Amino acid sequence: MAEYVNVEVADQIATILLARPKMNALNGQVQREIAEAARAADADPEVHAVILYGGERVFAAGADIKEMAGMTYADMATHSRTLQDCFTAVARVGKPVIAAVTGYALGGGCELALCADFRVAGESAKLGQPEIQLGIIPGAGGTQRLPRLIGPSRAKDLIYSGRHVPAAEALAIGLVDRVVPDAEVYQAARDWAATFTGGPTVALRAAKQAVDQGLEVDLDTGLEIERLQFAGLFATDDAKIGMGAFTEKSTPKFTGR
């Protein structure tokens, strides 16, 4: 049983809930529990979509600075790999993942949100990578996932300055996808996640892998990744169900196989 990260499953949606008082600081234990929760949600065939949520007050204010402050280079050389691996476990969940961002999503909190496919933020939310103000840089994907999402120039602005980005600006630059009233953040994420339930889960996984892996390679290699994923889906029951329903003008009932 995890101490700080809970997984709640209802209506084919898994909510990974951070619950470490007071600000969901991401110490080593929380990082490991996040990875375990992500792997569990990924492996559960009853889960069709995942929400990352820190509660009504805050998403995650960042790494546990007190824990990091005492580390040596040798300590961090080992810990940083574990840190990245834990967040990568979230990014590799083969299902739609939505971050429901309330309050602060700073440093590691912002990097965790970047691991999701989509981000819904409250109107008063603030996101950013303030590590430079500590004399360090983002170490859990911020220098890599952020420029891939919003472009290198805007990412450098956030990383070099360490400033907090308000929700409206985050929406304008593509750092978040939707902004809603603070009290509606989780429900908005849940409504979005519900659009994926009952869907062709094998095809959704293939689509996510094709997009994510394709972003890391040249166009020709990306097209080959897409071709193989596309062809492979013709071996699935869901493809037969979907195309059969189309020709019969009926609603498909996908099985996830």
CATH code, 45: 3.90.226.10
Residue 166 counted as domain residue = yes
**CB-CB contact of 9 with 49 (8 Å):** no
pLDDT at 80 over 90: no
Q: Which residues, at least 6 apart from 153, have a Cβ–Cβ distance to it below 8 Å?
A: none
154 CB-contact burial (10 Å; exposed 0-12 / middle 13-18 / buried 19+): middle
Q: Are residues 13 and 104 in the same domain?
A: yes
User: Which one of the listed residues 56, 111, 169, 224 is annotated catalytic?
Assistant: 111
Percent of the chain residues past pLDDT 90, beyond the cut:
90
Q: Are residues 34 and 121 in the same domain?
A: yes
SS3 239: helix
How far CA 59 is from CA of 162, 203, 204, 250, 254, in Å, comes to: 18, 30, 26, 41, 34
Segment 174-178 mean pLDDT: 98
Q: Are residues 181 and 209 in the same domain?
A: no
Q: Are residues 219 and 186 in the same domain?
A: no
pLDDT at 1 over 80: no
Residue 254 counted as domain residue = no
248 catalytic residue (yes or no) = no
Q: Are residues 244 and 163 in the same domain?
A: no
- Residues 121-157 have pLDDT tens digits of 999 999 999 999 999 999 999 999 999 999 999 999 9
CATH code, 237: 1.10.12.10
Q: Are residues 22 and 75 in the same domain?
A: yes
Confidence of residue 202 (pLDDT cuts 50, 70, 90): very high
- Residues 2-42 have pLDDT tens digits of 899 999 999 999 999 999 999 999 999 999 999 999 999 99
Segment 184-191 mean pLDDT: 98
169 catalytic residue (yes or no) = no
**CB-CB contact of 151 with 143 (8 Å):** no
- Residues 46-62 have pLDDT tens digits of 999 999 999 999 999 88
Residue 57 counted as domain residue = yes
Q: Are residues 33 and 150 in the same domain?
A: yes
Which domain covers residue 50, as residue numbers?
5-194
Percent of the chain residues past pLDDT 70, beyond the cut:
100
Q: In which residue are the tokens 């420029």 written? A: 147
Q: Are residues 189 and 206 in the same domain?
A: no
Positive or negative, the CA dihedral 84, 90, 91, 94 is: positive
Query: Which of 148, 179, 194 delimits the end of a domain?
Result: 194
The per-residue pLDDT of the chain, averaged, comes to 95
Q: Are residues 65 and 128 in the same domain?
A: yes
Residue 255 counted as domain residue = no
- Of 32, 50, 29, 31, whose CA–CA distance to 41 is shortest? 50
Confidence of residue 246 (pLDDT cuts 50, 70, 90): very high
Residue 29 counted as domain residue = yes
Query: Which of 160, 177, 194 delimits the end of a domain?
Result: 194
Residue 257 counted as domain residue = no
User: Which one of the listed residues 8, 131, 226, 248 is annotated catalytic?
Assistant: 131
What pLDDT, on the 0 to 100 scale, is given for residue 78?
86
Query: Which of 194, 211, 229 delimits the end of a domain?
Result: 194
